Amino acid sequence: MSHDAAVEGIGMGVGPDGTNVPAVILTARDEYLPIFITSDQAQSIRHSLSGEPFERPLTHDLLVEMVTEFGGAIDGVRIDELADGTFYAKIDAERYVDGQPETFAFDARPSDAIALAVRSECPISVSDEILDAAGRDPDEIEVEKPEPDRDDELVPDDLFSDDPDE
């Protein structure tokens, strides 16, 4: 079974090598799902969540605009696999040709898929299997919601650990 998810915000965790790593925090089934991402991806997601327009299109903005101009739409994003600590996602899209829908599913990094989802305001879904394996109690994680005037900042270090036993 899949559950609708929402982007709760961006957090900072400790990666396997002990360095600070940004994470996008999804919420689904009354659980948080932290997914480690790059600083660039965190900035892209944070920028979109803040609602502040950027002076020129960022990569994810450009992709959404191109898909739309070519007669397509991003219908949804699925976080549907976790293997060896790596999350996998799919982007579901469609376009109409001669009035007939043509559907597509694209393999994607979850960070890219989520960045596109927040821009296109499409649903994000997460499977029970993913939440069972990686979901966390919300009390374990502090999440800071993006604010327009704090576009460059991440939340303080060590808000959650990569070690599920901590």
- pLDDT tens track for 69-102: 999 999 999 999 999 999 999 999 999 888 899 9
Q: Is residue 128 part of a domain?
A: yes
| Residue range 100-106: mean pLDDT, rounded | 95
Evaluate if residue 152 carries a pLDDT over 50.
no
**What whole-number distance in Å separates Cα of residue 50 and Cα of residue 132?**
30
Model pTM score? 0.83
Q: Is residue 29 part of a domain?
A: yes
Evaluate if residue 155 carries a pLDDT over 60.
no
| Residue range 14-26: mean pLDDT, rounded | 89
Instruction: Please give the residue range of the domain that contains residue 72.
Output: 2-144
**What whole-number distance in Å separates Cα of residue 145 and Cα of residue 32?**
14
**What whole-number distance in Å separates Cα of residue 28 and Cα of residue 69?**
32
Q: Is residue 151 part of a domain?
A: no
pLDDT of 145 reads 65
Residue with tokens 């996998």, as numbered in its chain? 88
Q: Is residue 156 part of a domain?
A: no
Candidate from 30-44, 103-117, 121-135, 149-163 with smallest mean pLDDT: 149-163
| Residue range 116-122: mean pLDDT, rounded | 95
Number of domains in the chain: 1
Q: Is residue 154 part of a domain?
A: no
Q: Is residue 118 part of a domain?
A: yes
Q: Is residue 157 part of a domain?
A: no
**Bigger pLDDT: 125 vs 147:** 125
The answer to whether 99 and 71 are in contact (CB under 8 A) is no
Q: What CATH number is attached to the domain comprising 117?
A: 3.10.690.10
